[in-house]
Amino acid sequence: GAVVSQHPSWVICKSGTSVKIECRSLDFQATTMFWYRQFPKQSLMLMATSNEGSKATYEQGVEKDKFLINHASLTLSTLTVTSAHPEDSSFYICSARDFTGSYEQYFGPGTRLTVT
């Protein structure tokens, strides 16, 4: 099956700093990638939809200036958490749609962010 990677798998940062999370499709081209956030013991909440070469579409309530998303190529999308605060601590998961149009979206392994 298709593989999506995320880097880093976990990160600890100080409050006020910025953190970049990468999402890569390793063996397929992804025109669309999705970024989710998951708090402990809760469901995945969609943050934004990232389309290659265009601006991301953010869900209601998600601050686009705080969560910067860039989808510069068909295999890479990045999420940058700017001026991180402890309440941004969460599990961030990306998924990618195969350009060939299979019914699946493929999920990355997730990135655990802890802001101290």
Distance CA 34, CA 69 (A): 10
CA count, 13 A, side-chain hemisphere, 5: 8
Check residue 49 for interaction with another protein (CB under 8 A).
yes
* Candidate list 46, 62, 68, 74; residue touching another protein; CB under 8 A: 46
5 is a contact residue toward another protein (CB under 8 A): no
Tell me the C-alpha distance between 6 and 8, whole Å. 6
Nearest by Cα to 66 from 80, 55, 52: 80
Q: Which stretch binds another protein (CB under 8 A): 15-23, 62-70, 73-81, 103-111?
A: 103-111
In degrees and rounded to multiples of 5, residue 41 shows phi and psi of: 60, 25
Does 95 bind another protein (CB under 8 A)? Our answer is: yes
The two structure tokens encoding residue 38: 């998951």
Can you tell me whether residue 88 is helix, strand or coil? helix
When binding is defined by CB under 8 A, the residue of 32, 70, 80, 89 that contacts another protein is 32
Draw the binding track, 12-31, toward another protein (x: CB under 8 A; -: no contact).
-------------------x
Residues near another protein (CB under 8 A) are: 1, 31-32, 34, 41-44, 46, 49, 91, 93, 95, 97-98, 101-110, 112
